[in-house]
Amino acid sequence: MASTLNPYISLRDNAREALDFYAGVFGGELSIMTFGDSGFASEAGGDPAEAAKVMHGHLETSSGFTLMVADTPAATEHHPGGNISISLSGDDEDELRGYWDKLADGATIVEPLVQAPWGDHFGMLTDRFGVGWMVNIVAPAA
Q: pLDDT, tens digit, for every residue of 76-90? A: 888 887 678 899 999
By percentage, how much of the chain surpasses pLDDT 90?
69
pLDDT band, very low/low/confident/very high, at 67 (cuts 50, 70, 90): very high
Indicate which CATH number applies to the domain containing 56.
3.10.180.10
Q: Are residues 14 and 62 in the same domain?
A: yes
Mean pLDDT, residues 43-47 taken together: 60
Q: Residue 50: what pLDDT?
A: 86
Residue 59 has pLDDT above 90, yes or no: yes
Mean pLDDT, residues 83-105 taken together: 94
Query: Domain range holding 128?
Result: 85-137
Q: Are residues 65 and 103 in the same domain?
A: no
Amino acid letter for position 89: S
In a domain, 14, yes or no: yes
Please give the Cα distance from 131 to 82 (Å, whole number).
8
Q: Rounded to two decimals, what is the model's pTM?
A: 0.85
In terms of DSSP bridges, do strands 85-90 and 66-71 run parallel, antiparallel, or are they unpaired? unpaired
Q: Residue 41: what pLDDT?
A: 62
In a domain, 3, yes or no: no
